Chain A
């Protein structure tokens, strides 16, 4: 039956007065915390949440930049300057994680995709089979794979837009990573991109559903053999929007989807003859099928 004397940090037996432990560290919280509105900052934590999966779990600490006037000397330089050589072994990896977070932020990707990307990058980095390639290229390719694996694929052009690496290099790294990690990804379909493209164009839900149906039907009826699913999706969106009140030009759709407007024209020419069969049965036509533009 030991009693803890919190003031001295001792464990004392109340019967005989023997001090068992000495200078026991109090692991209770430093200050009182209340569950208040500001739930973002948790005062009982004194640092960032550690991510042991990715950083190897080192427990190094560092002195942060000072606040207040005393920490700067006369020229305005900070007095304590040693912030380098923190974790030299995986500095490149941490840099890549920062880059991944930046890229994902630009296209508003959720945390789960970022985590998956980080995991993929870590696996590739540890394997060292792609060591010669630019880390940014590997990171972009990992981002692409993560989006695919989560079921919300992004086109190569969308990843290119947030990365400094060319589509060619990202494509090369993508194939190399799949080889190195011995995984594979599902084939892209037209429906994966409909919601994103249509909302970027500002098209109502009816048009989006119609475009999804048109694209799916076109692929089923094999009207567009050998065409990239992105081009087919763009042509379907064009047809659906032209039949509704919200008409979009090929140029606008090409801009959003990253396809050339001649490509949309080509795919549209392939699906135009069967336009009547492609629309969903309950679609409200603003422009009837025979008045659809013919290019």
Chain B
């Protein structure tokens, strides 16, 4: 087993770098992950130690901030960019010729063409993360609902236990197959932490819960471009991507193809982006749409 610190390895400790032996409890909070220079990828741990989870998050935060030069960041509440994933905030190299604003030009490119200009100073804020995890064992929802706090279960209405925790403020749907959906977190790390907390609750109730296949399914972000937008113009030029029906919904629904994100664009200038699996897609989509929206700014 690899050692990158001076402490003698515990019996049954798994290596942080790779070969995780499933089923073995990982205990030590003192074992740092990695050398401390590169941000570690999220390891696929099966244990449910919340303490270690928080430690790991703090480690990543410190590494990220060390790289940035000491910019403070809370646990997962980074308003700045999340650097452990590759994210481009500058305009993408346009792979299409100049963007023409005439409504009759057939727009064949998939990516909306971005003219060479500086990036917007606006960063979309994440509002909601939906993630799923498999607890790996069948659950008895009735006992969970009766013994756990803040759990509701109405089998006639819906076949899952709805559980809520206060920190991070999230809601989980726990199904009898052992699968769980966690919604309401504002960042990826918070979602993971919350999912672990729910799994811990289930574990404490006596079920052999594991933490398998944690995956973020959807991320929702929102931001404000700070100027009103002419939606009628936008729907005329981007007909194949946009749908604007004031009778059905007051916002324009823009389905961007690359990255595959749906944006709700409103007259006030507020934009909601959804459908992302990673944070970078939200940022990329916003950087793609911002120059287009600037072109449809209301002049009055």
A residues bordering B, Cβ < 8 Å?
155-156, 171, 174-175, 178, 184, 187-188, 221-222, 225-230
Residue B115 at the chain A interface, CB threshold 8 Å = no
B248 touches A225 (CB 8 A): no
Q: How far in angstroms is the closest Cβ of chain A from B104?
A: 13
B235 touches A187 (CB 8 A): yes
Interface residue from B236, B240, B246, B267 paired with A188 (Cβ < 8 Å):
B246
What residues on B are CB-neighbors of A155 within 8 Å? 247
For this complex, into which size category does the number of interface residues on chain B fall? 10 to 19
B246 touches A229 (CB 8 A): yes
What residues on A are CB-neighbors of B239 within 8 Å? 184
What residues on B are CB-neighbors of A156 within 8 Å? 247-248
Question: Which of A156, A187, A229, A230 has most B Cβ within 10 Å?
Answer: A187
* Given known contacts A184-B239, A187-B235, A226 and B248 CB-to-CB distance under 8 angstroms: no
Query: Please, how many angstroms separate the alpha-carbon atoms of A229 and B247 in the complex?
Result: 8
A228 touches B232 (CB 8 A): no
Given contacts A178-B243, A188-B246, A226-B267, 18 further A-B contacts (CB under 8 A): A155-B247, A156-B247, A171-B245, A171-B248, A174-B245, A175-B243, A175-B245, A187-B232, A187-B236, A187-B244, A221-B300, A222-B300, A225-B228, A226-B250, A226-B266, A227-B246, A229-B246, A230-B247
23 pairs of residues in contact across A and B, judged by CB atoms under 8 Å: A156-B247, A171-B245, A171-B247, A171-B248, A174-B245, A175-B243, A175-B245, A178-B243, A184-B239, A184-B240, A187-B235, A187-B236, A187-B244, A188-B246, A222-B298, A222-B300, A225-B267, A225-B298, A226-B250, A226-B266, A226-B267, A228-B246, A230-B247
What residues on B are CB-neighbors of A221 within 8 Å? 300
Residue B268 at the chain A interface, CB threshold 8 Å = yes
Query: Please, how many angstroms separate the alpha-carbon atoms of A184 and B266 in the complex?
Result: 20
B250 touches A228 (CB 8 A): yes
Within 8 A of A (CB), among B185-233: 228, 232
What residues on A are CB-neighbors of B247 within 8 Å? 155-156, 171, 188, 228, 230
* Given known contacts A184-B239, A187-B232, A226 and B244 CB-to-CB distance under 8 angstroms: no
Question: Which of A187, A188, A225, A230 has most B Cβ within 10 Å?
Answer: A225
Q: 9 tightest A-B contacts by CB?
A: A226-B267, A228-B246, A225-B267, A171-B248, A184-B239, A156-B247, A222-B300, A226-B250, A187-B232
What residues on A are CB-neighbors of B267 within 8 Å? 225-226
Q: How far in angstroms is the closest Cβ of chain B from A101?
A: 25
What residues on B are CB-neighbors of A230 within 8 Å? 246-247
What residues on A are CB-neighbors of B245 within 8 Å? 171, 174-175
What residues on B are CB-neighbors of A178 within 8 Å? 243
What residues on B are CB-neighbors of A188 within 8 Å? 246-247
What residues on A are CB-neighbors of B240 within 8 Å? 184
Query: Please, how many angstroms separate the alpha-carbon atoms of A227 and B267 in the complex?
Result: 10
What residues on B are CB-neighbors of A222 within 8 Å? 298, 300
Q: How far in angstroms is the closest Cβ of chain B from A168?
A: 9
What residues on A are CB-neighbors of B243 within 8 Å? 175, 178
B268 touches A226 (CB 8 A): yes
Query: Please, how many angstroms separate the alpha-carbon atoms of A175 and B300 in the complex?
Result: 32
Question: Which of B228, B240, B247, B300 has most A Cβ within 10 Å?
Answer: B247
Query: Please, how many angstroms separate the alpha-carbon atoms of A221 and B246 in the complex?
Result: 18
Interface string of B69-103 (1 = CB under 8 A from A): 00000000000000000000000000000000000
Within 8 A of A (CB), among B149-180: none
What residues on B are CB-neighbors of A171 within 8 Å? 245, 247-248
Query: Please, how many angstroms separate the alpha-carbon atoms of A171 and B249 in the complex?
Result: 10
What residues on B are CB-neighbors of A227 within 8 Å? 246
Query: Please, how many angstroms separate the alpha-carbon atoms of A226 and B247 in the complex?
Result: 11
Nearest opposing residue in chain B for A189, CB measure:
B232
Query: Please, how many angstroms separate the alpha-carbon atoms of A135 and B71 in the complex?
Result: 59
Interface string of B236-268 (1 = CB under 8 A from A): 100110011111101000000000000000111
What residues on A are CB-neighbors of B248 within 8 Å? 156, 171
Nearest opposing residue in chain B for A226, CB measure:
B267
Query: Please, how many angstroms separate the alpha-carbon atoms of A188 and B247 in the complex?
Result: 9
Within 8 A of A (CB), among B281-300: 298, 300
Query: Please, how many angstroms separate the alpha-carbon atoms of A171 and B247 in the complex?
Result: 9
Nearest opposing residue in chain B for A153, CB measure:
B247
What residues on A are CB-neighbors of B268 within 8 Å? 225-226
Q: How far in angstroms is the closest Cβ of chain A from B224?
A: 15
Q: How far in angstroms is the closest Cβ of chain B from A7?
A: 67
Query: Please, how many angstroms separate the alpha-carbon atoms of A86 and B152 in the complex?
Result: 56
Query: Please, how many angstroms separate the alpha-carbon atoms of A184 and B240 in the complex?
Result: 8
Q: How far in angstroms is the closest Cβ of chain A from B233?
A: 10
Q: How far in angstroms is the closest Cβ of chain B from A141?
A: 12
Nearest opposing residue in chain B for A155, CB measure:
B247
Query: Please, how many angstroms separate the alpha-carbon atoms of A261 and B218 in the complex?
Result: 39
Q: How far in angstroms is the closest Cβ of chain A from B110?
A: 16
Query: Please, how many angstroms separate the alpha-carbon atoms of A155 and B248 in the complex?
Result: 10
Query: Please, how many angstroms separate the alpha-carbon atoms of A228 and B244 in the complex?
Result: 11
What residues on A are CB-neighbors of B235 within 8 Å? 187
Q: How far in angstroms is the closest Cβ of chain A from B257?
A: 14
What residues on B are CB-neighbors of A174 within 8 Å? 245
Query: Please, how many angstroms separate the alpha-carbon atoms of A268 and B59 in the complex?
Result: 58
Q: How far in angstroms is the closest Cβ of chain B from A183?
A: 10
Query: Please, how many angstroms separate the alpha-carbon atoms of A229 and B298 in the complex?
Result: 18
Nearest opposing residue in chain B for A183, CB measure:
B239
